[in-house]
């Protein structure tokens, strides 16, 4: 496992396990335990996923020392604002059954995220959070926050995969000292990506699957990746990417697959903003 070092010196595993859309508590607990057993040490959840308690139980039952596990959770839009963010953070901490969070992220750049950020800065100062960051912040929003916050974001988790490579955003994050982290690193299976002839041919050279080729491509770009699966064999397979390296030619070929936009979600749409804001995780 490789690690990246965030701007505040914190070490973060470069490959992690996510639990988005695993709402069944028993199943979530089971797959997180399988992921930890396989060797994952970064576990990514969110208040909006409604499974923090299951993640917390799996971490406790694993028997792995707390300091070896990097736990991420996220603040939902509904809980933006200074006071609300402090309450929401404590709720997440209680649900997870932990004394601190390794990485706390603002889930979407909506509602009063500046007020939330001030609360997160204070929680970071108090040692309740080891690192703070954001999700789905495009370059203009990320730059604005970096220029106006007392403590700049350390991570930005965004959609990133061969069809949407975030080239300009990646350069912007490097300039700002913000670590990019990919959600949907396998394009959520879009465009029959797992049977893509270009990626299949590259995989044959190394005896690797298309998924492993894509993950290795991310790693060599300096991207932290979050994987989700409920199948033990895939959980293990996705971790088996550390014994080969793509050539510059391979990287360039994959680089040509970029469409330059998302086909999963349009964050620039008013309809998307309405939909996200309408999703409530509590009364």
Catalytic residues: 49
Number of other residues whose CB lies within 10 A of the CB of residue 144: 13
CA distance 184 to 55: 20
Distances (CA, A) of 266 to 237, 263, 270: 31, 7, 9
Pairing relation of β-strands 70-75 and 101-106?
parallel
Across the strands, what pairs with 152?
none
Length of the chain: 283
Give the residue among 26, 68, 75, 34 at the shortest CA–CA distance from 51: 26
Distances (CA, A) of 172 to 50, 107, 149, 262: 32, 19, 17, 18
CA distance 238 to 199: 15
CA distance 10 to 252: 31
């Amino acid at each position: 496992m490789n690690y990246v070092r965030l701007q505040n010196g914190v070490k973060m595993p470069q490959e992690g396990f996510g639990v988005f859309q695993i709402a069944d508590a028993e199943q979530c607990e089971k797959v997180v335990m399988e992921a930890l057993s396989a060797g994952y040490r970064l576990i990514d959840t969110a208040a909006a996923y409604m499974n923090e308690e299951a993640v917390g139980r799996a971490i406790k039952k694993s028997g792995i020392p707390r300091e070896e596990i990097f736990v991420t959770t996220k603040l939902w839009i509904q809980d933006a604002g200074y006071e609300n963010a402090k309450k929401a953070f404590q709720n997440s901490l209680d649900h997870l059954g932990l004394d601190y969070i390794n990485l706390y992220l603002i889930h979407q750049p909506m509602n009063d995220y500046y007020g939330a950020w001030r609360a997160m800065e204070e929680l970071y100062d108090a040692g309740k959070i080891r690192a703070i960051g954001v999700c789905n912040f495009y370059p203009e929003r990320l730059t604005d926050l970096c220029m106006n916050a007392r403590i700049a974001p350390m991570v930005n988790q965004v959609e990133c995969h061969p069809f949407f490579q975030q080239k300009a955003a990646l350069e912007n994050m490097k300039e700002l000292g913000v670590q990019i982290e990919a959600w949907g690193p396998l394009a959520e299976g879009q465009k029959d990506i797992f049977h893509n002839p270009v990626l299949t041919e590259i995989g044959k050279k190394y005896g690797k699957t298309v998924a492993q080729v894509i993950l290795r491509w991310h790693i060599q770009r300096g991207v932290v990746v979050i994987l989700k699966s409920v199948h033990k064999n895939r959980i293990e397979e996705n971790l088996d990417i550390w014994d080969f390296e793509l050539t510059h030619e391979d990287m360039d070929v994959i680089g040509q697959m970029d469409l330059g936009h998302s086909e999963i979600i349009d964050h620039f749409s008013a309809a998307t903003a309405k939909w996200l804001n309408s999703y409530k995780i509590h009364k």
